[in-house]
């Protein structure tokens, strides 16, 4: 399974495994996009400063070898309290009402509906903060020759609960386990942006899917 994503001109374009169709979302204003992009492009020094700031545990592990290449190893661990600190600061940097307002045109919602969405989102966040339990482990591998991080392995377990105020059908308990193995490559290479001129919105994509389902049923 593979996905593609392009961020450009304050828009996010994505192609999923289900279709070759590019889907566009105009989510963020320029300032918010700049902040988010900056967070995703931190240097190793900035990452280390952030770990120290939030008290993220990190230790050096045994050297490793992948495909004949030797690596330094760093182990990181993030617990529930630390994750909540990071999430709190991350959310403080963003204007949630502005973000949801930016979605209004795409979602077709009026002002009253947007206010309800904002209230609901804040309620969900409050319950997440109150009930979330998380254990997040990241193994980072630094290439001994280039001193670049070109491999990361993570494991995460998360639990939280939502009560009847969020889920009228009844309280919900959520448990999730995720793992991933990332390989980073072509550092410094030219980035070729694919042709996304034919992108459609999520709503248009869903309409197409519904029409296909209707044809199939007939």
Which residue has 């279709």 as its token pair? Answer: 19
Write down the pTM of the prediction.
Answer: 0.65
In this prediction, residue 54 has a pLDDT band, given cuts at 50, 70 and 90, of confident
Question: What is the tens place of the pLDDT at every residue in 95-110?
Answer: 555 555 544 444 455 5
Query: Of 7, 12, 15, nearest to 26 (Cα)?
Result: 12
Q: What is the pLDDT of residues 187-208, one digit of tens each?
A: 888 888 889 988 998 778 888 8
Instruction: Evaluate whether 139 touches 153 at the Cβ level (below 8 Å).
Output: yes
Report how far residue 179's alpha carbon sits from residue 135's, in angstroms, rounded to the nearest whole number.
12
Domain ranges of the chain: 1-42+195-218, 55-98+110-193
pLDDT given at position 41: 63
- For residue 209, the model assigns a pLDDT of 78
Phi/psi zone of residue 108: left (φ > 0), alpha (ψ -120 to 50 degrees), beta? left
- pLDDT digits 0-9 by tens, 133-183: 999 999 999 999 998 888 999 999 999 988 877 777 888 898 999 999 999
Question: pLDDT tens for residues 62-72?
Answer: 999 999 999 99
Average pLDDT estimate for 108-129: 70
């Amino acid at each position: 399974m593979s996905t593609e994503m392009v961020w450009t001109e304050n828009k996010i374009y994505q192609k999923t495994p289900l279709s070759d169709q590019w889907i566009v979302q105009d989510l963020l204003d320029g300032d918010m996009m700049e902040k988010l992009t900056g967070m995703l492009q931190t240097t190793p020094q900035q990452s280390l400063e952030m770990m120290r700031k939030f008290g993220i545990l990190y230790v050096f592990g045994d050297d490793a070898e992948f495909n004949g290449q030797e690596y330094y190893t760093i182990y990181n661990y993030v617990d529930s309290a630390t994750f909540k600190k990071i999430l709190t600061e991350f959310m403080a940097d963003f204007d949630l009402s502005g973000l949801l307002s930016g979605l209004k045109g795409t979602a077709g919602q009026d002002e009253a509906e947007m206010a309800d969405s904002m209230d609901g989102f804040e309620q969900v966040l409050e319950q997440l903060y109150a009930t979330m339990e998380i254990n997040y482990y990241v193994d980072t591998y630094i290439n001994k020759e280039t001193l670049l991080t070109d491999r990361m392995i993570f494991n995460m377990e998360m639990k939280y609960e939502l009560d009847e105020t969020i889920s009228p059908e009844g309280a919900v308990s959520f448990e999730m386990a995720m793992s991933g193995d990332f390989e980073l490559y072509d550092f410094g290479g030219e980035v070729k942006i694919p042709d996304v001129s034919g992108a459609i919105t999520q709503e248009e994509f869903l309409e197409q899917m519904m029409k296909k389902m209707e044809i199939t049923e007939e």
